[in-house]
Every structure is written in C-alpha cells, then in structure tokens.
A and B are shown apart, each in its own frame.
Chain A
Amino acid sequence: MQTAFPDRALTTPISEGAITGVGVGLAVAGNRPMVEIMFGDFMTLTVDQIVSNAAKFYHMYNQAVTCPVVVRTPMGGRRGYGPTHSQSLERLFLGIDNCLVLSPNALIDIPRQLGAIRRIETPAIVFENKVDYTMRPYKVPEYYKVEIGSAEFPTVAVRPERVEPTVTLVSYGGMSRILADALLRIFEETDLVPELIVPISLHPIDLGPIVESANRTGMLLAIEEGPTFAAFGAEVLAQVSEHAARPIQLGRVGAQPMPVPSVPELEDMALPSVGRVIETLRGMKKV
C-alpha cells in the first residue's frame, strides 16, 4: 500500500488515540479513512475517539455529518504472546450506538465479506484474528456446504447438505474457523449434526439466520474466543430467547475469565477448544 499510495499510507507514531482521531477528522471532512491499530489489545486507547466522537457526530449534530471511519485491528491468542497481546476485547466495543462492529473469518474470501465497507455511513471497527492470517484455504468437510445470506455484511453458514442439522453453533472470527474445521469430529463425538452460523456483523446482529437455524434444531451453542460475560454470545442468547418460535436449549463457551497466560498448556486451557465445545454439547439436554 505504501508503495502504491505513498502520500496516503502514512507511517504513524505509536499514538492510538491521536491516529484514530485523525481518521475521525478525515472522515468528517469527506474522506474514507482506514485506521490500523497494530494490536487489538490497545484498542482501549482509542475509546474516547470512537465513543465520544465518531459514534456521536451523526445524531448529535442533527444528521449534518457522517463519520465513516474504519478502524481495523487483530485480536486473539494461541500464539503465546501473553496477557496484553492475546485478548479478545470485542465485547468492550459491542453495542456502541451507531458503531458497526465487523469480524471477518477464514471461511470465505474477504471481498465477499467486507465489500460493503466502501459504502458504509457509520464508523466501523473491524476485528480480525491473528491466527486467521496464517490459514490455508478452507476445506469444506464432506457432506457440508458453505452459504452466505443476503445482508450487506453477510452471515456465513456451514450447513450439512443431506441431513437436517440438530444443533446450531454460532461463532465468529478466528473461533469460527476452528469449529468449521471440526464439524465432523463434533458429529462423531456428540451424535449431534452441527450447523455453523457465522455472522460477520457483530453489531448490529444479523439475527434472522441464527433464529431460523435455532428454530429448526431447538439447540444453540454460542462459542467465542473471549470471556462470555456480557459478550457476543450473551447477546445472541438473549435475542434468540426473545425471538425464537419455540423453546431452545441454550449454551455458551468462551475463555476463562482471567488474563491469557503465555505458558502453552495454560493458554490452551484458558481459551475455548473443540474439546470443550464437545463436552458442553454432551452436557446440554435437548428440550
């Protein structure tokens, strides 16, 4: 990018707040800036610019201005980087009024997922996952297919092709690829036929595909890499409870509620794994 656009790709000082603010100013002046924060852990230093500026302007200034600044940043662990470089802090940014939260995945090509970002009129935070940067192309398991929904930022579904699913798994970002690679193992070890629903837009939630799947299976497990308290899965469960057509057996899996340690064995235990998903599914009773 720097070679192609030397005056537009700027080398910045390590000033997360200021460069986010500069992006906000560029957006207000009619540009479409993208701010890159090198580690998602340090999104904490951008909060005032996002919450009190970017997300407020449109309503506060009576719709006289929009602020389509995009802030992209990598999140997640599994690389041994330790407590301040391994977090999944998405939940701190979910539900900011007027601020879109997107999370691409390694299931389908990125332009299909984020193409609409050129057209948005609100600020957007794009949470990527470090491990997704290291992925081979996704090999769809036998008897499964990949589909996308029709929302502007589409929901991805990895569905069984010949049989009806019996459990809905909802996940996003890096965790969704781990699950998508393990669908057959989950089937073999639980006797449940999983259907994986992967939203790209975490806020607002594309609820339709999730509820539709839960109505069919009657059982839903939300899995995310960060801790589950007041997080994406909690919101999914709340909204599914409000909108489902029948009682749904609900569950959540996420990280242990403590800093992610660097010790490999402990990091593995801190973060959600396929093993824990299987264990949780076995403990859930169908209603």
Chain B
Amino acid sequence: MPFDAVRLADAAAATGPDVVLAFAADAANAAVMRQALLVRAVETSLLDLFGKGKLHGTIHTCVGQELTGVTIGANMHRDDFITSNHRCHGHFIAATGNWRGLIDEIVGNVDGVCAGIGSSQHLYARNFMSNGQQGGLLPVAAGIALDRKHRGSDGIAISFMGEGTLGEGIFYETMNVDSLWSLPHLIVLENNFYSQSTPQAQSVAGSIAGRAAAFGLTVRESSTWNPAELATTAAAAMRDVRETGRPGFLVVRTYRLNPHSKGDDSRDAEELAWFGARDPLNVVLASNNAHRAHYEDLLREVEDHIQISLTKPRLSPTRYFTDKLPRTGSSGWTKVEAASHDTRYVQQ
C-alpha cells in the first residue's frame, strides 16, 4: 500500500468486521453503541451545517474516533473530571449527554453550554472542561486529581490528548508530578496518526508508550477497531487509577475520517477510503438494521434541534462585559505606621 498510516494501524487490519458486528449486536453494549452513533450524528450534522455556511468560526470533529470518548464516559463516576482539547465534542457528549447544549454552543446562541462564548473547543460543565491550546489542561487535570485525593473522594481526572501533543513539554512535566505525588490522573492519548497535516512519522520519535512508562505510569494500549477490547482496557485503566490512586496512560489507536477542521485534508484518498471501509461505525451502519434505524432517528432529532437552535437569541453584551477584578478607586486616606517587620533574616 502506498501510505504509511496503514502500516502504523496494524491493529485495524488485525481485527475484522465480525469482531465489530459481534460487539454491536450484544445488548450489553447498546448504550455505548447508541452514544457513539449520537456523537456521529451530531458531528456529521455540524459539518453539514458548516458546508451550508450556517456556522462561523471553526470545528474539529471526531468522526471515526467516537468510541474512545464514549467508552471512557461509560465508566465515569460522579466526582470524575474530564479535560479535553480542540477535538472535544465526543468527549463532552460522553461526559454530560448534553448534545443539545453543545449544538447551541457551536451555533452561538445563549443556550449554549457556555452561552456561545467559547464555541467548539472551549466547553465547560460540572465535570468537564476543554481548551484550545495543546497540552495546556494536562497540569490542570493533575491539580483537580490532587483536589480529589485531598478530599478523599473516589474521583479521578481524565485527560484526552492527541499524539501531536506529545511535542509539548508540559505533558512530561505533568506525568512527573502525577507520578511523584501519586495522583489519580488517567491520560488518554488518541493516536490518529496525524496532527493536522503532519504525519506522525514526522513529529514523534521513539516510543509513545515508553515515554509514559519511563515516568512510572501504568500503560495500556487498545484501538477503536476492536470495541470489545477497548471497553475492557479502558474500564481496567480507569479502575486501576481509581483504586491505586496512581496515574495511568491509555493509548488508543484510531483514525479521523474527516478533515482536521473543515476542509484542510491533504491525506491520500486511497488511505481515507481504506480506513473508511474499516471504520467500526460504518461497518455497523452497513449491516446492523436496528442500529441504522436508530441512527436515522438520531439524525432527524439532531436536525430538528439545529432548526430550533438557529432561531435562538445571542448572549447579551451586558452579561458578558463584566469582570471580578477587585475594585480600585481610592477615596479617603488613613494614616498608618510604617513597616515594623525586620526582614533581614530572610535568606536568598
């Protein structure tokens, strides 16, 4: 084959449609499958809306990667907290179920989860935050994990990142702190083999798993092409972090079927088709009638909400343009004693 990502994604080749179909047919996995299809319905509808010029700004969709987020979401406890990155819609729906608030956010109306202020990559909920800078929320998640640890809660912090973000130093600083302080922090690396247009071979040297192992994190690996194995591995990774209070690292190999954001795709068409044909949700939609019927219902439900969303009002400026800085503006003076402390004992 002419393209390199396929060689890297040997996991995709190692499983086949039978594995995926068996997973989808098992009633025990219905919730995960339905949520994955919901994420896909939202993402494809949003891309469609962009195509029609009805949205402004940008989005990064997770079409092809849905199973990672929803599998993690299925194992969350009430006190768990997710931090995520630009490609966060699926993670957000998995953590909160609030897909309508997400659509409102991206459409930019006042009912959006953040009233439309941040749009696609700046989402917040009681148990979730995403931000636009690669790696920037990793130490924040460590701080939240430290909070859970101090309060004796069973909550853990979970951070999603892409493999392109392995280039950020803050990732290594955070793993070191996680491990030194025994923080309940699970870092989930979604390896889709590209950071925007840069193939992994040009941005990541050496071993991905080895990097986390070197800091003493428990490393597990899986892929979205084997949903059953992903479910077991992700559940084990979360349970481990919760029970031992030690950090973990979960690498999920996956593939993004859509452009990085809206139209920026320089990948080989043959490669895209190869992964498209092996995409677990595509496989299920092609031959599981019940899931396909459900997916079509979801598309209609999403479309209905989009129509409502487009008519909702925008945030009012008076609500937005306020701050919480302490008030300045001295009026009146009080005579005081000069400093009485002798600070000469302080050593530098």
Q: Count contacts on B: residues with CB < 8 A to the other chain.
A: 61
Chain B residue contacts of A147, Cβ below 8 A: 333-336
Chain A residue contacts of B328, Cβ below 8 A: 151-153, 201, 204-208
Our pick among B174, B176, B325, B348 for the contact of A21 (Cβ within 8 Å) is B174
In this assembly, does B37 line the interface, its C-beta being within 8 Å of a C-beta of chain A? no
Chain A residue with the shortest CB-CB distance to B333: A147
Chain A residue contacts of B136, Cβ below 8 A: 21, 48-49, 52-53
Q: A12-B177, A106-B343 are in contact. Are A31 and B325 (CB under 8 A)?
A: no
Q: In the complex, what distance in Å separates the CA atom of A110 from the CA atom of B81?
A: 37
Chain B residue contacts of A30, Cβ below 8 A: 147
B142 & A22 in contact (Cβ 8 Å cutoff): yes
Question: Shortest distance in angstroms between B343's beta carbon and chain A's nearest beta carbon?
Answer: 5
In this assembly, does A20 line the interface, its C-beta being within 8 Å of a C-beta of chain B? yes
Q: In the complex, what distance in Å separates the CA atom of A146 from the CA atom of B342?
A: 18
Chain B residue contacts of A120, Cβ below 8 A: 326
Question: Shortest distance in angstroms between B215's beta carbon and chain A's nearest beta carbon?
Answer: 11
Chain A residue contacts of B323, Cβ below 8 A: 58-59, 97-98, 122
Our pick among A29, A60, A132, A204 for the contact of B325 (Cβ within 8 Å) is A204
Q: A15-B176, A204-B325 are in contact. Are A60 and B147 (CB under 8 A)?
A: no
Our pick among A59, A132, A146 for the contact of B320 (Cβ within 8 Å) is A59
A18 & B329 in contact (Cβ 8 Å cutoff): no
In this assembly, does A100 line the interface, its C-beta being within 8 Å of a C-beta of chain B? yes
Chain A residue contacts of B113, Cβ below 8 A: 62
A100 & B326 in contact (Cβ 8 Å cutoff): yes
B124 & A21 in contact (Cβ 8 Å cutoff): no
Our pick among B139, B335, B339 for the contact of A25 (Cβ within 8 Å) is B139
Q: In the complex, what distance in Å separates the CA atom of A21 from the CA atom of B148?
A: 16
Chain A residue contacts of B138, Cβ below 8 A: 18, 21
B interface: dominant SS: loop
Chain B residue contacts of A233, Cβ below 8 A: none
Chain B residue with the shortest CB-CB distance to A156: B336
What is the 8 Å Cβ interface bit string for chain B, positions 330-348, against chain A (1 contact, 0 not)?
1111111111111110101
Chain B residue with the shortest CB-CB distance to A52: B133
Q: A13-B176, A133-B348, A151-B329 are in contact. Are A108 and B338 (CB under 8 A)?
A: yes
Question: Shortest distance in angstroms between B238's beta carbon and chain A's nearest beta carbon?
Answer: 19
Our pick among A10, A25, A134, A149 for the contact of B144 (Cβ within 8 Å) is A25
In this assembly, does B284 line the interface, its C-beta being within 8 Å of a C-beta of chain A? no
In this assembly, does A64 line the interface, its C-beta being within 8 Å of a C-beta of chain B? yes
In this assembly, does B54 line the interface, its C-beta being within 8 Å of a C-beta of chain A? no
Interface centre among A28, A30, A107 (most CB of B within 10 A): A28
Chain A residue contacts of B327, Cβ below 8 A: 151-152
A29 & B177 in contact (Cβ 8 Å cutoff): no
Question: Shortest distance in angstroms between A71's beta carbon and chain B's nearest beta carbon?
Answer: 13
Chain A residue with the shortest CB-CB distance to B326: A152
In this assembly, does B140 line the interface, its C-beta being within 8 Å of a C-beta of chain A? yes
Chain B residue contacts of A205, Cβ below 8 A: 328
In this assembly, does A231 line the interface, its C-beta being within 8 Å of a C-beta of chain B? no
Chain A residue contacts of B336, Cβ below 8 A: 108, 112, 146-148
Q: In the complex, what distance in Å separates the CA atom of A80 from the CA atom of B330?
A: 37
Which residues of chain A in 113-134 are interfacial with respect to chain B, using CB atoms and an 8 Å cutoff? 116, 120-122, 130, 132-134
Question: Shortest distance in angstroms between A131's beta carbon and chain B's nearest beta carbon?
Answer: 10
A28 & B144 in contact (Cβ 8 Å cutoff): yes
Question: Shortest distance in angstroms between A74's beta carbon and chain B's nearest beta carbon?
Answer: 8
Q: A26-B146, A30-B147 are in contact. Are A58 and B335 (CB under 8 A)?
A: no
In this assembly, does B42 line the interface, its C-beta being within 8 Å of a C-beta of chain A? no
Interface centre among B117, B133, B136, B139 (most CB of A within 10 A): B139
Chain A residue contacts of B78, Cβ below 8 A: none
Chain A residue contacts of B181, Cβ below 8 A: 10
Chain A residue contacts of B326, Cβ below 8 A: 100, 116, 120, 122, 151-153, 201, 204
With A59-B320, A122-B326, A151-B326 given, name 20 new contacts (CB 8 A): A19-B139, A22-B146, A23-B143, A25-B142, A26-B147, A28-B144, A29-B147, A49-B139, A53-B137, A53-B140, A59-B323, A61-B118, A62-B315, A97-B323, A107-B339, A108-B336, A133-B343, A147-B334, A148-B333, A150-B334
Closest 6 CB pairs of A and B: A25-B143, A21-B139, A149-B330, A18-B173, A61-B124, A29-B147
Residues on B close to A: CB < 8 A? 81, 113-115, 117-118, 122, 124, 129, 131-133, 136-148, 150, 157, 169-170, 173-174, 176-177, 180-181, 315, 320, 323-344, 346, 348
